[in-house]
Amino acid sequence: MSKPLILVSNDDGITSRGIRVLVNIMQKLGDVVVVAPDSPQSGMGHAITIGNTLRLVEEEIFTDVLAYKSSGTPADCVKLGKHYVLKDRAPDLVVSGINHGSNTSISVLYSGTMSAAIEGAIEGFPSIGFSLCDYSSKADFSHVEDLVYKIAKQVLDHGMPKGVALNVNFPPKRNEPIKGVKLCRQARAKWQEEFKERYDPNGQKYFWLAGNFVNYDKGEDNDEWAIANNYASIVPCQYDLTAHHAITQINEDWDWEAMR
C-alpha cells in the first residue's frame, strides 16, 4: 500500500524551526510535500493574494522532501499546493505549523497557521494546525513531538468530519511532562488592544498595536484552561461562521412586516 500523502505548510516561513520539526515527524507517517511562505506571515488570518503576483520557487531545504516557498499567504500556499504542486493528487492530510506562539481562543481568527489548516478543510481534506505556546525563534519542541505524531496518526486512521480542522496547542516546555490531551472548546477571551502613537525619525506619525490578552472564561473545558494546567488542547474548528442559534431569536424578535 502507498504511504499517505501529507501537505505541510505554516505561517512562520519555510526556514522556521517549527516547520522543520513538523516535516521530520510527518516523514514517519507518509510522503511529505511542503508549500510554505518565503517569509513570516503571522497574523495574516485567511488573507489571500488577489492584487499582486504570486511566486512559487522549489527549495532544497529538507531531506528527501519536495518543497516550495511562496510569496503568498498561508492560505495561498495550501491553494497552490492543491491546484499546482499536487495537481491530480489529493493529500490524505494537511498540517500546518508547528507555530511559534499560541493560537488558543480568539487568536484562531488572526492565525495564519490555522488559516492554512482551515483552507485544507475547505478543500475537503483532514487538516490540523499545531502551535506551541512559546514565541521564541529557538523554542524547544522536543516535549511535543510524540503527541504531534500521535494526533496526526489518529486523524489518518480515523478521518475527520468534513469541513473541520483541528486547532492543537501545546504548553511550553516546563519542568514536568505534559499531563495529557484535552478535547476542548475555544475559550471566551480576547485581546484588550491599544494603539501607541509614535513618530519616526522624519517626524511622521505612526501607530503600533499593543495590548494584553484577557481571559473572561472561568470554565475548565476550554483551551486556555488546558494550556494553563499543562495539557495539550484540541479544538475542532469550522469555517462556517453562521451563528445558527441567533437565527431563531432574530426571526422571533424582528418585525418582518416592516421590512417589506
Q: What is the pLDDT of residues 219-257, one digit of tens each?
A: 999 999 999 999 999 999 999 999 999 999 999 999 999
pLDDT exceeds cutoff 60 at 126: yes
The domain containing residue 17 runs over which residues?
Answer: 5-188+219-259
pLDDT at position 125 over 60: yes
Residue 164 reports pLDDT greater than 60 = yes
The CA–CA distances, whole Å, from 227 to 5, 179, 180, 259 equal 30, 10, 10, 47
Give residue 246's pLDDT: 96
- Domains contained in the chain, number: 1
Q: Which residues are annotated as a binding site?
A: 11-12, 42, 99
Residue 16 lies in a domain: yes
pLDDT of residue 260: 84
Q: 227 preceded by cis ω (within 30°)? A: no
- Phi and psi, residue 58, nearest 5°: -65, 140
In a domain, 205, yes or no: no
Distance CA 157, CA 221 (A): 26
Find out whether 153 and 29 touch, Cβ atoms under 8 Å.
yes
Question: Is 30 a member of any domain?
Answer: yes
pLDDT, residue 193, reads 86
What is the number of other CB atoms lying within 10 angstroms of the CB of residue 58? Answer: 10
Residue 242 domain-assigned (yes or no): yes
Share in percent of the chain as helix, strand, coil (round to 5) = 30, 30, 45
**Binding site for a divalent metal cation: residue ranges?**
11-12, 42, 99
Q: Tell me, yes or no, whether 94 lies in a domain.
A: yes
31-72 pLDDT, tens digit per residue, is 999 999 999 998 889 999 999 999 999 999 999 999 999 999
Residue 256 carries which DSSP code?
G
160, pLDDT greater than 60? yes
- pLDDT score of 1: 55
Residue 193 belongs to a domain: no
Over residues 67-104, the pLDDT tens digits come to 999 999 999 999 999 999 999 899 999 999 999 999 99
Residue 238 lies in a domain: yes
Sign of the dihedral through C-alpha 180, 104, 48, 197: negative
CATH code of 53's domain: 3.40.1210.10
pLDDT digits (tens, 9 = 90+) for 169-227: 999 999 999 999 999 999 999 988 889 999 999 999 999 988 888 899 999 999 999 99
Residue 95: all three cell numbers together? 498540517
pTM metric for this prediction? 0.93
> CA–CA separation, 103 vs 70, rounded Å?
23
- Burial (CB < 10 A; 0-12, 13-18, 19+), residue 191, is middle
Decide if 163 is inside a domain.
Answer: yes
pLDDT of residue 88: 85
What's the pLDDT band for 147 if we cut at 50, 70, 90? very high
Average pLDDT over residues 116-144: 96
